[in-house]
A = this chain, B = another copy of it.
């Protein structure tokens, strides 16, 4: 059957008889019975064990679900250390349930798949050799892609049941009190990992810095931790930060950032106490800089900035232009290290950030969100997952979650090289057009027709070219032509869930 973004969902993938796949962005007010871990009591003086090998042997069994976080990003050493032992020990049929998979994890996951160690994966995304392998049918069962908020929801509801979580931390004491703010490999907020810490039956911390007991502030608490392993190094500091704190000089990115700023500033949401999420990357940082100037010029202060936080956003806090910074992750060292010193910079977990199934997520209070896109189509549906060749090379991240903002802006170039960004139909629908308000490209903007109010308001802004999304699509097509349709096999290799757990799209095996 076809779901509400017109995607064919094979019947056998629907969860219940009434399941129709993705229907609407409104989550409603269901009452949900949460699950809780099985906890083995311990009263001993230390949880430090000799080696990862030893702790893997003590905790992992065939068929289990094991999890990791991706806060170390491309500087992660922990994932490979643990997976090496897991593979070498010969475990089979594991489900891998990390918060996301970064490139540094790709090759060993491919190996784990080839050896039958891993037969199921749920993740925010994947890229590189792993995305390629999965797209070519390497994994036994379909990957389930979930947004950060949806992962939190799925963990709380028991859809993801983590047997063992292996969490790398830049500091911990012998009992497991740990945070992400101190140490050589500091990354700031432990936001995604806090879900694993609360819900995993067994929690293993891996650290390179054993601190005197008790180690505070304790984002992860000793009450949650079963084992602590000391290793030489948990991550490469140079690769943990995104390095993207530089201000872009690319004229196309600058032009987009300027127009994004124009849209925000002329929207009804730009007023004292507004809130925003800008994300990372060169264009996002440029937006933050333009927004800063606009706030000063208009004497407007924001109540909070949300999401993955960068140093330029923390600077706004220090300047008094933003009242609170809410960090579910930190993209650079500056943001990471400032959090420990400022009560106005609050570490939040993935549930608080974005889970629709709790008593209120931050994203529900968000006025303005700026998001990216690999593709956006004439229904404003966005793809951040599959490339123009149909191969998986992206991540949902908080895309679906933050798109619930009152003003959701997609910031994207009209074309990338010889590939159109604005297309008739996206390859994979990740975020439904219903939650997207404005597309900003370097040549002008398109406003979702459901936002007649914005069309009216923004039409008055001098120097802000407004097109229909179809016009932008045609302009893109004129530049790069229309590619021939992708060829897929029948086999489904990945499922994309919407944040409520419904299926918004499926990804099929690519033809060679």
Contact B213 A356 (CB under 8 A): no
Bound CA span A362–B346, Å: 25
Contact A360 B212 (CB under 8 A): no
Contact A360 B43 (CB under 8 A): yes
CB-contacts of A18-77 with B (<8 A): 27-45, 47
User: 17 more A-B contacts (CB under 8 A) besides A44-B360, A214-B362, A223-B360?
Assistant: A32-B38, A34-B39, A39-B156, A41-B356, A41-B359, A43-B361, A44-B364, A45-B364, A47-B359, A213-B365, A214-B304, A216-B344, A217-B343, A218-B346, A221-B348, A221-B352, A225-B360
Interface residues on chain A, number (Cβ under 8 Å): 60
**Would you list the 5 A-B pairs with minimal beta carbon distance, nearest first?**
A34-B36, A36-B36, A216-B346, A223-B358, A43-B364
Contact check: which of B42, B203, B223, B351 meets A223 at CB < 8 Å? B351
Contact A361 B216 (CB under 8 A): no
**A27, A214, A344, A404 — most chain B CB neighbours (10 Å):** A214
Binary contact track A351-384/B, C-beta < 8 Å → 1, others 0:
1100111111110110000000000000000000
Chain B residue numbers with a CB within 8 Å of A41 are 27-32, 356-359
Binary contact track A327-361/B, C-beta < 8 Å → 1, others 0:
00000000000001001101010011001111111
Contact A212 B273 (CB under 8 A): yes
Contact A37 B34 (CB under 8 A): yes
Closest to A346 in B: B216
CB-contacts of A103-118 with B (<8 A): none
Contact A346 B38 (CB under 8 A): no
Q: Within the oligomer, what is the number of copies of this chain?
A: 2
Binary contact track A381-418/B, C-beta < 8 Å → 1, others 0:
00000000000000000000000100000000000000
Chain B residue numbers with a CB within 8 Å of A131 are none
A394 CB to closest chain B CB (Å) equals: 26
A3 interface residue per 8 A CB criterion: no
A212-B273, A346-B218, A362-B214 as given contacts; A33 in contact with B43, CB under 8 Å: no
Contact B36 A30 (CB under 8 A): no
Contact B39 A36 (CB under 8 A): no
Chain B residue numbers with a CB within 8 Å of A36 are 33-36, 156
Contact check: which of B37, B40, B326, B340 meets A214 at CB < 8 Å? B326
Closest to A227 in B: B359
A34-B36, A223-B351 as given contacts; A42 in contact with B359, CB under 8 Å: yes
CB-contacts of A204-259 with B (<8 A): 212-214, 216-218, 221-226
Bound CA span A395–B38, Å: 31
A175 interface residue per 8 A CB criterion: yes
A303 interface residue per 8 A CB criterion: yes
A176 interface residue per 8 A CB criterion: yes
A468 interface residue per 8 A CB criterion: no
Closest to A500 in B: B41
Contact B223 A39 (CB under 8 A): no
A324 interface residue per 8 A CB criterion: yes
Closest to A177 in B: B346
Contact A29 B42 (CB under 8 A): yes
A41-B30, A41-B32 as given contacts; A360 in contact with B176, CB under 8 Å: yes
Contact A175 B360 (CB under 8 A): yes
Contact check: which of B38, B45, B343, B357 meets A31 at CB < 8 Å? B38
Contact A352 B38 (CB under 8 A): no
Closest to A158 in B: B36
A323 interface residue per 8 A CB criterion: yes
Contact B216 A324 (CB under 8 A): yes
Contact B175 A212 (CB under 8 A): no
Bound CA span A47–B203, Å: 34
A199 CB to closest chain B CB (Å) equals: 9
Contact A31 B39 (CB under 8 A): yes
Bound CA span A415–B94, Å: 65
Bound CA span A224–B36, Å: 15
Contact B340 A343 (CB under 8 A): yes
A97 CB to closest chain B CB (Å) equals: 19
A155 CB to closest chain B CB (Å) equals: 11
A196 CB to closest chain B CB (Å) equals: 14
CB-contacts of A166-205 with B (<8 A): 175-176, 203
A366 CB to closest chain B CB (Å) equals: 11
CB-contacts of A267-310 with B (<8 A): 273, 303-304
A223 CB to closest chain B CB (Å) equals: 4
Bound CA span A352–B346, Å: 21
A55 CB to closest chain B CB (Å) equals: 14
A214-B346, A362-B214 as given contacts; A222 in contact with B352, CB under 8 Å: yes
Chain B residue numbers with a CB within 8 Å of A343 are 216-217, 340
Chain B residue numbers with a CB within 8 Å of A222 are 352, 359-360, 362
Bound CA span A47–B365, Å: 12
